[in-house]
């Protein structure tokens, strides 16, 4: 009977191959194990010839190819059998909740786990659960005291309820780490509160520079998730589409790739250094700029950034965005933007990151020739009152029918009928209860 037999904790390799990186990740994500190089699958000892070169490759895997770095969990040693030299890689169970191959990120391909004698790709659900648990809630947002002491979280509770989370009111603030060690509301709590002192400004400029402002809208001073929804709705409204009806099916071309812009906005919100100031979103005649403060998170390289390696600056905020289904755990956002527009759209400095999304030339030509504004997409198929209601809801989704009636100069009943019409046209939808909820523009 051979001395070496593969098992759930033992992997045999006749010689070194790059797949060993995958094997190490699999053991880290399971209960640990041992990789013996220089032994065939049937247990025959053949030995390793290029020992120094193999050791160097294994060291490179451990130090550069796995995220998080597993140096404390992986060790290598020589073993001598039948006059031959073997290399043994001992892998302990990872002290972090999840590990991946850096080049694949936190995806099913990158996150494998040892099952029996094979490496299996983890499911999306397994990755999601482990990824959320890996966050260590020690970042500055949890320690920095909020500028306001009287905070409420009705909107945040509605969001969690809509996602099927049932959080006990008595433990809500503690479960989400909304207070610091002194029992005071922290910066994270302020960002998530119904009302706060944090702006989030969207500015439109005339031309291609900042010489002349044509419009300035502030979507902040409220729960950051609501602010994000408002910004998202605004950008959907700005994203003009031109259609070529001479072909079947018709071909639609948009001013910008909305998915890329959405990813850039989410990255700016989640990775921004909020101790400096809020992110800035600027729209010019030919481009959209999204600027976040703080540069790359500590320890992250530009290569890791462009490869989609996820290393959030604000880990607890990221976890909440994950819970809301607003962000993914695969780190695919930046690669999506790079694939569409190239790495050159990112300007990365020590204290900020700017993402510049250029507008489509064909759509710009159409706008110029047709002499239309950038809000045309929002107004199609709506009457005058509906357009006004939608415009105001984009500014503040918490407007009641009474408040809208007073602003527009119509009766409450007319506004309520307008709500029903916009619902039927699938332009708005109700979030939360009649009493505590609000209307959200969805297209």
pLDDT at 372: 41
**Among 234-238, 303-307, 357-361, 415-419, which range has the highest average pLDDT?**
357-361
Question: How far, in Å, CA of 192 to CA of 225, rounded?
Answer: 7
Q: Is 168 exposed, middle or buried (0-12, 13-18, 19+ CB in 10 A)?
A: exposed
Fold of the 10-134 domain: 3.30.950
Q: For residue 72, what pLDDT is reported?
A: 85
| Ranges of each domain in the chain | 10-134, 140-192, 201-361, 381-441
CATH 1.10.10.10 is the classification of domain 381-441: yes
Contact 10, 4 (CB under 8 A): yes
pTM of structure: 0.58
pLDDT band at 375 (very low <50, low <70, confident <90, very high): very low
- Look at residues 117, 118, 121, 112 and name the one whose alpha carbon lies nearest to residue 94: 112
Tell me: the pLDDT tens digits for 225-260? 999 999 998 898 888 888 777 778 878 899 999 999
The confidence score (pLDDT) of residue 331 equals 61
Contact 112, 121 (CB under 8 A): yes
Q: How far apart are CA 256 and CA 151, in angstroms?
A: 37
For the chain, the average pLDDT equals: 86
Contacts of 209 (CB under 8 A, 6+ apart): 284
Contacts 24+ apart (CB under 8 A), 35-38: 35/11, 35/88, 35/89, 35/91, 36/4, 36/10, 36/11, 36/12, 36/79, 36/86, 36/87, 36/88, 36/89, 37/13, 37/86, 37/87, 37/88, 37/89, 38/13, 38/14, 38/84, 38/85, 38/86, 38/87
Q: Is the pLDDT of residue 162 over 80?
A: yes
C-alpha angle 147-151-281 in degrees, rounded to nearest 5: 65
C-alpha dihedral, 62 to 65 to 68 to 71, nearest 10°: 10
124-137 residue pLDDT tens? 888 877 776 554 44
Q: What is the CATH number of domain 201-361?
A: 3.30.565.60
Rounded mean pLDDT, 352-380: 72
């Amino acid at each position: 009977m051979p001395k070496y037999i593969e098992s759930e904790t033992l992997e045999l390799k006749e010689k070194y191959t790059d797949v060993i990186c995958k094997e190490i990740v699999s053991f880290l994500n399971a209960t640990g194990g041992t990789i013996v190089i220089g032994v065939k699958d049937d247990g025959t000892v053949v030995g390793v010839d290029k020992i120094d070169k193999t050791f160097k490759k294994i060291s490179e895997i451990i130090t550069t190819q796995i995220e998080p770095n597993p140096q404390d969990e992986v060790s290598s040693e020589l073993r001598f059998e039948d006059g031959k030299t073997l290399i043994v890689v001992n892998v302990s169970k990872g002290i972090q909740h999840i590990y991946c191959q850096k080049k694949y990120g936190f995806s099913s391909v990158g996150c494998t786990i040892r099952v029996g004698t094979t490496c299996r790709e983890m499911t999306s659900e397994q990755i999601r659960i482990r990824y959320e648990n890996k966050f260590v809630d020690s970042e500055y947002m949890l320690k920095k005291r909020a500028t306001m002491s009287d905070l409420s979280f009705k909107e945040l509770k509605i969001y969690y309820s809509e996602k099927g989370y049932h959080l006990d009111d008595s433990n809500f603030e503690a479960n989400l780490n909304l207070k610091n060690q002194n029992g005071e509301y922290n910066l994270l709590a302020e960002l998530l509160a119904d009302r706060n002192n944090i702006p989030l400004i969207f500015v439109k400029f005339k031309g291609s520079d900042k010489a002349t402002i044509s419009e300035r809208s502030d979507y902040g001073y409220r729960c950051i998730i609501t602010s994000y929804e408002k910004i998202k709705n605004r950008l959907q409204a700005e994203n003009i589409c031109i259609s070529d009806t001479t072909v079947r099916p018709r071909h639609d071309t948009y001013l910008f790739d909305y998915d890329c812009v959405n990813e850039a906005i989410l990255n700016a919100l989640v990775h921004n250094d909020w101790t400096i100031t809020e992110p800035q979103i600027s729209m010019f005649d030919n481009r959209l700029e999204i600027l976040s403060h703080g540069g790359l998170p500590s320890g992250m390289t530009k290569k890791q950034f462009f490869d989609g390696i996820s290393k959030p600056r604000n880990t607890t905020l990221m976890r909440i965005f994950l819970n809301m289904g607003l962000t993914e755990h695969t780190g695919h956002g930046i690669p999506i933007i790079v694939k569409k527009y190239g790495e050159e759209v990112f300007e990365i400095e020590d204290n900020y990151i700017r993402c510049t999304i250029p507008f489509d030339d064909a759509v710009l030509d159409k706008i110029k020739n047709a002499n239309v504004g950038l809000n045309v997409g929002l107004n199609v198929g709506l009457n005058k009152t509906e357009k006004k209601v939608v415009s105001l809801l984009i500014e503040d989704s918490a407007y009641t029918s009474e408040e809208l009636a007073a602003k527009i100069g119509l009766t409450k009943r007319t506004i309520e009928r307008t709500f029903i019409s916009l619902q039927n046209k699938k332009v708005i939808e109700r979030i939360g209860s009649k009493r505590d909820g609000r209307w959200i523009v969805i297209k």
